[in-house]
Structures are given as C-alpha cells and as structure tokens.
Chains A and B, each alone.
Chain A
Amino acid sequence: MTSRIVTFIRLLRTQGLPVSVAESLDALHSVSQVGVHDRDLLRLTLRTALVKSHRDFPTFDALFERFFTVPRRRRRQRGQPQASTSTGVGQRLALPQNGLPFTPAQRPPPTPASAHRPAQVSHSDTPEIASEETDQAWQALAELEQAWQEHMAATQQSRAAAVPEHTDTQRAQSRIDRPFPPDCLADMYREVERLAARLLSRQALRTRRAQTGRFDVRRTVLRGLRSGTEVPFTRAYRRRKISKLRLIVLCDVSGSVWQVSTFLLKLVHTLQAAFASVRSLVFVNSVVEVTELFRRMHFPEDLESLRHYPQLNLFGLSDFGRVFYQFSQDFVQDLRRDTVVLILGDARNNAFDPQAWALAEVRQSCRRIIWLNPEPRREWNTGDSIIAAYAPACDQVLECWTFEHLAQAADALLRA
C-alpha cells in the first residue's frame, strides 16, 4: 500500500500540486490510522494531508478517482482482453502485475502475487494466463503513459483557461498585465482600494508604534540610577523616527504597460495620506506631469481622458533614455533627501540610447529609486529590454505583474 500511495503522490506532483516529503509522511501516517477499508475515507484522509488549497481539490479528486479504481477484470476475461480503450487511467494503472490491485472492500491481506490472488482479480490461476497478464500489463503501462500525457496536457490547458476567472482569492494571483474584461475592471479597482486601505492601516500602526517606541530596559535603569532614586520611575523608550516621504511616480503609459500603470497610479493616489506629497508623471517618450489631473479624477471612468492629454503621444515609441534625461533636467531641483522615485516600466527602449547616467544622476539627489517592471523576470533583458542598464542606479528592481506583486511593491514603498 505504501508504494502505491507514494506513486500516487508522485502523480500529484506531476500535476503541479506541491506535495512535500513531510506531507507524504503525514499522509502515510494518516492512512495507517484510518485504514484502507473505506475508499471515500481514504480519499478524504489523503486529501486532508496532501492538498492545502481547495482550488486543487477537483484535480485531486479526479486523480484519485482514476488511480484507485478497481480494474474490471471480469469483463476482460470474457474474451475481450484488449478492451482497455474505454477504461480510465487508474483502471489501467491497477496492474495485475503487482498482484495487488486496489480493491478496497474485498482486498485480502497482501500475499505474494502467485500464491493467493484476490478472487476478483483472477478467475484462473494457470501460469499461461499469468504471463499473458504480464504482457497485458506492459501494454497497459504504455497506454497509461500516453493517456497520462494527454490528461496532463488537457488539465494544463484547462488550468490556463481558468485564469481569467476572478473570484476573490484568485484575484490576488491573477496577472494584471493582461487586459481585463470591462466588468472585471471595476472590481479590480475596488480591490486596489481595499489593498490601499490595508496598507494605510498598517502604516498607521507602524507610525503609532514608532511614536511610543519599544521599552528600553537599559536606559530606564540608567536613568533611575542617575536621578539618585533606586527605583527607575521614568521609563525610556527606543524610538525610531518615521517621517513621511515625498513620492514621485514615473509611469510608462505606452500600450504594453498601460493597465499596470493605471493600477499603480490608482494605488498611489489612494495611498496619498501615507506620504507628505505625491506627484505623478507619465511618459511614453517625454515626461508629462498629471498630478493635478489625478487629484480630481474619478477612477476608472476618467482614465480615458488621459489618453487625450496634450503633450502625451500615446502612440509614440517608448524612449526611457530621453525621459530620464528630461527628468534629470526638469525635476532634479524638486528632489530632496526624503524623495522616493518610483518608476514603472518594462525598459523596452526600442533600441534608443539608454542614457543610464541620467538616472544615476537622479539617484544622487533623492532617497531611493524603486523600479517596478510589469514583465516576468525571465523576460527581462530579452529583445529590446535593457533593465540591466538601469538596475545599478536603482535601489530595488521588482517584478510587478500580479496583484500580489503590486501589494509587495506598495509595501516596499511604505518601508522605503
């Protein structure tokens, strides 16, 4: 039984369920506790120990169904030995070869394959049949492998197809760099607001805690000694200074990253309370300040107006080099020691001059530069992406293509 469960766990892993060794052990211990008499109980037991997300339940159940199913040996014995085309993966898996196909109800205690076959498996004990069975077994194994691959391809497809579903929890993992259907978009903005609220409350807590600080035993005692009373009356606290930061957001709004940019701008503007000031700049190939526009804008209805903003050529080619040069010329006098520059862009420079020195110069006069890249990390520095050229000037370069990334980025920003 142990080996069958281990095989089953291996199958789960190939299906993308993350099962660790510790969990496998748990599963085995669990099964030894409940026994294997009740098939449904076995399913629930294994699931409790192995599957840690209810989204994986359907996959698990389907696999279990196929893996632990009694083979229909009787039908084959009645003169259609090859009739396995219609049987499922699990039915074929339950090979006579190992002598112990899983027959939960009737299964006798494990005995050597040839000595005592379970009645249901074999109606004849002749050796010829046994060797024929072995052949069948190998064939079934080959079939199984093929069926397996098909099944995997199918599930992977269905998994990929399932991505645009937007239930509450899936939303966190869903990619935000793909266009959404319009009705989901409003939901997403609401989600951004919720995220912002959470971040704000956390930030408020951080500030509050920083105001009192942590109790400092050493200094309390010292203070007591110094004042001459043996009892330390005045308490001392270790304080950490948290001051509000100034934020300048620099967003690429060219077609490919438009959506992520709008989410980020929305988030940043909801977070205004956490900063001393927020300025928003957008660019394609030149920088435009949109702070005023955003101040009185309603999301997401008014976003379209950004598309018709003068001086902003949304159909131009992104030119990061030029943008950074312009930024370093026009905005450097506004940068201060407590200014954080947040850049969002894919660093796809259309083969223009990177002018990374301009960004390095900006870094000289601000507190931090955080770069969010709305592409998965593996796509960085491929094609015309030149993020590596800019990375040395930045304090942090983060991926930002799922909702969770956005949350992490915002958190990094608040801790800057």
Chain B
Amino acid sequence: MTHTPPLSPSPVARRLASVADVSEQFTAANYVCSKETATAVFLMVHLQRPLLVEGPPGVGKTELAKVLAQTTEAQLIRLQCYEGLDEAKALYEWEYSKQLLYVQMLKEQLGSLLATTTSLNDAVALLQRQESAFFSRHFLLPRPLLQAIVASQPTVLLIDEIDRADQEFEAFLLEILSDFQVSVPELGTLQATQRPLVVLTSNATRSLSEALKRRCFYLYIDHPTLATELQIVQRKVPDIDSRLATHIVQFVQRVRQLSLRKPPSISETLDWALALVVLGASVLSRDLIVETLNILLKDKDDIARALREAGR
C-alpha cells in the first residue's frame, strides 16, 4: 500500500477545492449534505481513498455516489453486491461464445496456416504462437471492477451494499482497492490509468472486516435532522406548500422516534410528500394520514403504531 498523497491534484480535486466547495456543488445538484459528508467527500477526492458509507437504508448513501459522479462529471460504474457474487461477475469473464464463433469463422485461415506444417508438434507450436489472438482484450468481457480500472475518463465506482457479498469477495476486493490493478493470467497486469473514486455502501447488516475498513475513509449517514429533512423535501418536491412540508417532516420525525420495525427513510418521506402534492392536499389531516400512510410505512404493525401516534 502506498501512502504518499497525490502530488498534482487531479481535475476532480481542483473542482472540489475545499469542503465548502463540496457542500455548495452538492447542494446545487440537489443533494443536501451535512458538513460530515462534505468533509468525507473532500478527503476521499484529495487523498484518493475509497469511502465507506454506512447508515440505515434510504438515507441517501447510493445517491451520494451518484451526485459525486454528477458533480465531478465522471461516469458512474455500479457494482451491486449480493450473496454469491464472484470474480466472474465482478471483474471479468472470457467471452467464450465469441471466441468459439471466431474460431469457426477463421477456420479456413487456420487451415491454410496449418497447411505448411508437417508434424502435429509443429502445428501445436504454430498455434501456440497465435494464441494471443484468442486471449486478447477483444474477447475479454469486462465487469464493473475491470471497467472502472481500465476506464480512460474520470470514474466513480459505486460498490453497493458490500455487506451483502460474501467475506471471500471482501478479501478479493482488498487487492483492487489498495493497488487498483488486476492481473489477468493470459494478458498480464492491467493498471488503472487514473484512479477511480470508490464509494462503498453498507447497511451494516454484518460487520465488515477490519482490513477493508482500514483502507477506507468512513462516513456514517444517519436519518436527517428536522431542518435538513425539510430542506431536502423542499428541494426535491419544489411545488410543495411550505406549511405542508413542515407538517410532513415533523410527523415523519415523530414516527422515527417510535421503535418501528422499519423507520421511514428519506426516499419514503419524499414519496409521501409527492403523493400528498398530487392529491392536492394543503394540510395534513388525520384522514389523509390514514389514507396515505402506507406510502410512508410498509409494515402492518408499524402503520398501526404510527396511526396511534397520529391520534395524539
């Protein structure tokens, strides 16, 4: 692992020159971020470390990566993790069928090539010399990780829900995150021309390995405060009545205090706000809550509890 900070700032780093810049540009991209988030993003960009983002579902972890890509004008490459994800799905695969197709199409060339040889040994030796043609980049099917490494333009690599992948995969990821290089046995080592910005997200359903955490900066995004959430709602649902927005957010914040099975996320708050706007509501009445609460909460018991809370 190398620990020298980059000597010349990348274009991305120049774009996000200070923590305040990060805040500003993210807000301009409709992502209201706290100072913690801005600091973490600033650091990851400037020191080129991966950023591990943890937090409850639906607080905007994935969105953070998307906005980062948007503000830095980088392409976003996403790797969604799931149980059983392996190298072939994450890194690269040989395109077997394409290889086969080419062999068939080049049958005559191969025949004429081999016509000059006299013994089987010669033929094999000759074929071996041509082998590289069939194990070239041409037949390599790059999966997200390799795509991010060989990309020539600025890239944000989002490794989503890393806690869902197996531990083996996590270990395999370590190598890539520290060196940004991949060795393909038939081709040799592929080195990243420019380091992608890596964002890893986790819902903390299991604890990640210390080794992985050590290589990353860490950011925990919690459910937003009332003021922040109100700001988010007003930004994302621009034509909402400000009083209604306040009521909605206040109610959601109160509901989150209850010990629910699944507390409402920001995205659900937004869905709810949007639904209420579409319904043409101007105040949050009890009837309205009863009718539309299933947008905010997706569990029968949770809804019952929240309604009891609303009655008060």
Q: Using a CB–CB distance below 8 Å, which chain A residues touch chain B?
A: 18, 20, 22-23, 25-26, 29-30, 32-34, 40-41, 44-45, 47-49, 51-54, 57, 168-169, 172-173, 198, 201-202, 205, 209, 215, 230-232, 235, 404
Are the CB atoms of A202 and B83 closer together than 8 Å?
A: yes
Q: Are A22 and B3 in contact, with the CB atoms below 8 A? A: yes
- Across-interface contacts of B217 in A (CB, < 8 A): 26, 48-49
Is the CB–CB distance between A26 and B19 below 8 Å?
A: no
Contact between B43 and A198, CB atoms less than 8 A apart: no
Q: How many A-B residue pairs have CB under 8 A?
A: 90
Proximity string of chain B (171-197) to chain A, C-beta cutoff 8 Å, 1 when within and 0 when not? 000000000000000000000000000
Contact A22 B107, CB 8 Å, known A30-B43, A51-B218, A215-B96 = no
Q: Indicate whether A52 sits within 8 Å of B213 (C-beta atoms), given known contacts A41-B19, A205-B83, A231-B104.
A: yes
Nearest-Cβ distance from residue A257 to partner chain B, whole angstroms? 25
A-B contact pairs, 23 of them (CB 8 A): A22-B1, A22-B3, A30-B47, A34-B19, A34-B42, A34-B43, A41-B39, A44-B36, A44-B40, A47-B218, A48-B36, A48-B39, A52-B52, A52-B218, A54-B54, A172-B207, A198-B83, A201-B83, A202-B83, A205-B83, A205-B84, A209-B84, A231-B104
Q: Does B220 interact with chain A (Cβ within 8 Å)?
A: yes
Give the residue name and chain of the A residue nearest to B52 (CB).
Answer: A52
A residues in contact with B220, CB < 8 Å:
54, 57
Q: How far is the CB of B24 from chain A (nearest CB, A)?
A: 15
Residues of B within 8 A of A232 (CB): 100
Decide yes or no whether B214 CB sits under 8 A from chain A: yes
Name A33's closest neighbour in chain B (CB-CB): B46
**B133 is an interface residue with CB less than 8 A from chain A:** no
- Cross-chain contact A44 with B84 (CB below 8 angstroms): no
6 nearest A-B pairs in the assembled complex, by CB-CB distance: A54-B220, A52-B213, A44-B39, A205-B84, A52-B218, A25-B3
Cβ–Cβ contact B216 & A52, under 8 A: yes
- Cβ–Cβ contact B3 & A52, under 8 A: no
How far is it, in angstroms, between the C-alpha of A169 and the C-alpha of B54 when the chains are bound?
12
Q: How far is the CA of A173 from the CA of B204 in the complex (A)?
A: 12
- The smallest C-beta distance from B172 to any residue of chain A, in angstroms, reads 16
> By the criterion CB–CB under 8 Å, are B214 and A52 in contact?
yes
Chain B residue nearest to A31 in the complex (CB): B43
User: B96, A26: Cβ atoms under 8 Å?
Assistant: no
A258, B84: Cα distance in complex, Å: 34
Whole-angstrom distance between the Cβ of A18 and the nearest chain B Cβ = 7
Q: 7 other contacts beyond A48-B40, A53-B218, A205-B83, with CB at 8 A cut-off?
A: A30-B47, A41-B19, A47-B218, A48-B39, A48-B218, A52-B210, A232-B100
List the B residue with the shortest CB-CB distance to A54: B220
User: Is residue B206 contacting chain A, with contact meaning CB distance below 8 A?
Assistant: yes
Q: Mark B11-55, 1 if CB is under 8 A from A, else 0.
A: 000000001000000000000000110011011001101001010
CB nearest to A50 among chain B residues: B218
In the bound assembly, the distance between CA atoms of A230 and B43 in angstroms comes to 56
In whole angstroms, what is the CA distance A393 to B218 when docked?
45
- A45, B216: Cβ atoms closer than 8 Å: no
B103 in contact (CB, < 8 A): yes
Are the C-beta atoms of B43 and A48 separated by less than 8 Å? yes
Chain B residues, CB < 8 A from A40: 35
Flag whether B238 is at the interface (Cβ < 8 A): no
Shortest Cβ distance from residue A109 to the other chain B in the assembled complex, whole angstroms: 21
B206 closest partner in A (C-beta)? A172
Nearest A residue to B178, CB-CB: A22
A18 and B84 within 8 A (CB): no
Distance (whole angstroms) from the CB of A238 to the closest CB of chain B: 14
- A residues in contact with B280, CB < 8 Å: none
